[in-house]
Amino acid sequence: CGGDDGDSGSGGGDGKLVLGFSQVGAESGWRTANTKSIQESAASAGVELKFSDAQGKQENQIKAIRNFITQRVDVIAFSPVVESGWDTVLKEAKDANIPVILTDRAVDSQDTSLYKTFIGSDFVLEGKKAGEWLVKDYEGKTDPVNIVELQGTPGAAPANDRKAGFADVIKADPKFKVVASQTGQFTRTDGKQVMETFLKAQPKIDVLYAHNDDMGLGAIEAIEAAGKKPGTDIKIITVDAVKDGMTALSEGKINYIVECSPLLGPQLMDLAKKVKAGETVPQRVLTEETTFTPEQAKAVLAERKY
């Protein structure tokens, strides 16, 4: 059906909505739960999902998006591995009349007409919540508090924003010092390795702030191997609240987790259908989230699905 330019996709032969989705990879428990949510809700919403795993590489995502354009899927959704560098391929999708939904992570494109909507968390707010817990925990104390930070993937929205939100809150009190901050790529392996180097290089670490549970869990192994008690000798704050993180929290090895929900599938299918039908959708759809202390983790652990 080449030659026509008006239609926004060929659709499935059986009238099913065809959704092309480019996922970041499988770097964390969060990501695994997110993939499962998207696959399961596509199946139950009767959406034909073309799923592509970018293995952490932007170039793979750009290729996948171009393939979706060639295949003329109805809607393209993706979770951008980094924030920058999307204008060209998004313009190609727009020119092909294929609507794009940003899922989980943002892009920094100035032209917001390049995508229909963005569904996901407020990562700055998550960083702020992490900082606020810390400020409260050290209330009334004056000694310096040495913090090490494990950042997510360089250039990714959740890494940039969780760092910024946290820094913004703790800067109000000069006793808080981030003495080391490095990427742990959102993975357990890197979290462990970078924490090992922090422990060797830093004479005194009071707090670890990890941008996700997996890096925190890797760091716990390094802390224990160094003969220290995670959660006691070094306080630990993480983001996500996946089951393994919540288990460590309930055991007192993590002190506080800021929740980031990976269960975006049902809302994504809903938005994809609306966008395909030409309905207007909000530019921004925010995920609802909470925070957990060890006591709260214990109370919900049994029912935690991911």
- Site residues for ligand GYE per CB under 6 A: 27-28, 30-31, 104-105, 158, 186, 212, 214, 239-240, 260
CB under 8 Å to 106, separation ≥6 — which residues?
80, 83, 118, 120, 157
Q: How far is the CB of 196 from ligand GYE (least distance, A)?
A: 20
DSSP state of 113: G
What six digits make up the tokens of 305?
A: 């699905």
Q: How far is the CB of 279 from ligand GYE (least distance, A)?
A: 27
d(CA 86, CA 98): 15
Q: How far is the CB of 144 from ligand GYE (least distance, A)?
A: 29
d(CA 221, CA 47): 41
CB under 8 Å to 109, separation ≥6 — which residues?
86, 87, 90, 115
Judging by beta carbons within 10 Å of its beta carbon (0-12, 13-18, 19+), is residue 59 exposed, middle or buried?
Answer: exposed
Q: How far is the CB of 260 from ligand GYE (least distance, A)?
A: 5
d(CA 44, CA 265): 10
Q: Which is nearer to ligand GYE, 76 or 239 (CB)?
A: 239
Amino acid code (one letter) for 203: P
- Count the neighbouring beta carbons within 10 Å of the beta carbon of residue 122: 16
Q: Which is nearer to ligand GYE, 162 or 276 (CB)?
A: 162
Q: Which is nearer to ligand GYE, 123 or 138 (CB)?
A: 123
Q: Which is nearer to ligand GYE, 74 or 149 (CB)?
A: 149
Count helices and strands in the chain by DSSP H and E runs: 10, 12
Q: Which is nearer to ligand GYE, 27 or 149 (CB)?
A: 27
Q: Which is nearer to ligand GYE, 115 or 138 (CB)?
A: 115
Q: How far is the CB of 239 from ligand GYE (least distance, A)?
A: 6
8 Å CB contact between 83 and 70: no
Q: How far is the CB of 165 from ligand GYE (least distance, A)?
A: 13
